[in-house]
């Protein structure tokens, strides 16, 4: 992508006012890190790049958390029970549950409304259905990377190391093994595309797994 088209894309993403605040945030972060006069003469580009990357991840995590909270407050103050329907309607009240979710930019605390159905006498989580996530530890984007990484190497240990080194995603080899085995079983039962995942994720899983036969044995941990 050329510089001009890149700038055009950025302009279309932000209003002039947001752009100005964004520039101010950049200047603020730079000052926080290096002081008002900027980096000393012996600063390497690698150091600047790493700081920029870490700041970007911090912004990404904050945005993910903020958007999920807005989404929750706006749409899930009440919901019908997935088992018994409208008769099991429940108010969200203040009952929320927080769990860690590994995203592309690191772990965030995801706070979901936990509703209680008086008919079934059980809790349910309506937001995760709308968000196309399950109750697991990893976001769909992270799952896609985990599957692709482990599908193209000979062991889960190497897959885990690659994920960490190249994408900054921390998943133990044991978890990677469990994840791919679970998805392999879902594929084998031909249920993957019926569950609430974005189409690209289903495709990535299917594509990687079909190429390698992953999830049906043959890889060491
Ligand atoms: Zn119910």
Q: Which of 112, 131, 150 corresponds to the end of one domain?
A: 131
Q: Which residues contact 177 (CB under 8 A, 6 or more apart)?
A: 156, 219, 221
Q: How far is the CA of 92 from the centre of ligand 1 (A)?
A: 14
Q: How far is the CA of 89 from the centre of ligand 1 (A)?
A: 8
Q: How far is the CA of 28 from the centre of ligand 1 (A)?
A: 50
Q: Is residue 15 part of a domain?
A: no
Tell me, yes or no, whether 144 and 208 share the same domain. Answer: yes
For residues 119 and 81, is the Cβ–Cβ distance under 8 A? yes
**Which 8-state DSSP code applies to residue 192?**
G
Q: Which of 86, 108, 131 corresponds to the end of one domain?
A: 131
Residues 28-36: contacts with CB within 8 Å, 24+ apart?
29/55
Q: Is residue 37 part of a domain?
A: no
Q: How far is the CA of 95 from the centre of ligand 1 (A)?
A: 17
Tell me, yes or no, whether 117 and 159 share the same domain. Answer: no
Q: Is residue 204 part of a domain?
A: yes
| Residues across the chain | 221
Q: How far is the CA of 208 from the centre of ligand 1 (A)?
A: 37
Q: How far is the CA of 42 from the centre of ligand 1 (A)?
A: 64
Instruction: Give the number of domains in the chain.
Output: 2
Tell me, yes or no, whether 206 and 157 share the same domain. Answer: yes
Q: Which of 95, 111, 131 corresponds to the end of one domain?
A: 131
Nearest alpha carbon to residue 101 among 110, 89, 114: 110
Bridge partner residues of 90 (DSSP):
79
Q: How far is the CA of 124 from the centre of ligand 1 (A)?
A: 9
Q: How far is the CA of 100 from the centre of ligand 1 (A)?
A: 26
Tokens of 84: 């018994």
Q: Is residue 202 part of a domain?
A: yes
Query: What pTM, to 2 d.p., does this model score?
Result: 0.74
Cα–chain-centroid distance for residue 138? 6
Q: What pLDDT, on a 0 to 100 scale, did the predictor assign at position 153?
A: 84
Q: How far is the CA of 91 from the centre of ligand 1 (A)?
A: 13
Q: Is residue 109 part of a domain?
A: yes
Strand 106-113 and strand 78-81: the pairing is: unpaired
Nearest alpha carbon to residue 143 among 111, 121, 167: 167
CA angle centred on 220, ends 216 and 204, rounded to 5°: 50
Q: How far is the CA of 195 from the centre of ligand 1 (A)?
A: 20
Q: Quote the domain boundaries for residue 165.
A: 140-212
Tell me, yes or no, whether 155 and 203 share the same domain. Answer: yes
- Give the C-alpha distances (Å, rounded to integers) separating 63 from 18, 111, 180: 15, 14, 29
For residues 110 and 69, is the Cβ–Cβ distance under 8 A? no
pLDDT tens digits for the chain (221 residues)?
455 556 666 667 889 999 999 999 999 999 999 999 999 999 999 999 999 999 999 999 999 999 999 999 888 877 888 888 776 666 655 588 999 999 999 999 999 988 888 888 888 888 998 898 988 889 989 988 888 888 888 889 999 999 999 999 999 999 888 888 887 777 666 555 554 444 434 444 444 444 344 433 344 44
């Amino acid at each position: 992508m050329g510089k001009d088209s890149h700038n055009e894309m950025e302009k279309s993403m932000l209003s002039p006012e947001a752009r100005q605040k964004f520039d101010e945030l950049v200047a603020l972060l730079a000052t926080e890190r290096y002081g008002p006069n900027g980096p000393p003469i012996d600063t390497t580009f690698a150091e600047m790049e790493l700081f920029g990357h870490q700041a970007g991840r911090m912004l990404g995590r904050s945005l993910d958390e903020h958007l999920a909270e807005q989404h929750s407050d706006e749409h899930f103050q009440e919901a019908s029970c997935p088992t018994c329907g409208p008769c099991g309607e429940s108010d969200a009240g203040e009952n929320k549950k927080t769990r860690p979710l590994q995203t592309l930019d690191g772990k965030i605390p995801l706070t979901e409304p936990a509703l209680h159905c008086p008919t079934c006498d059980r809790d349910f989580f309506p937001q995760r259905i709308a968000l196309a996530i399950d109750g697991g530890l990893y976001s769909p984007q992270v799952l896609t990377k985990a599957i692709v990484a482990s599908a193209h190497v000979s062991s889960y240990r190497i897959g885990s190391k690659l994920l960490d080194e190249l994408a900054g995603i921390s998943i133990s080899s044991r978890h990677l093994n469990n994840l791919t085995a679970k998805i392999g079983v879902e594929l084998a039962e031909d249920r993957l595309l019926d569950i609430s995942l974005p189409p690209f994720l289903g495709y990535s899983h299917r594509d990687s797994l079909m190429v390698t036969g992953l999830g049906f044995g043959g890889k060491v941990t």
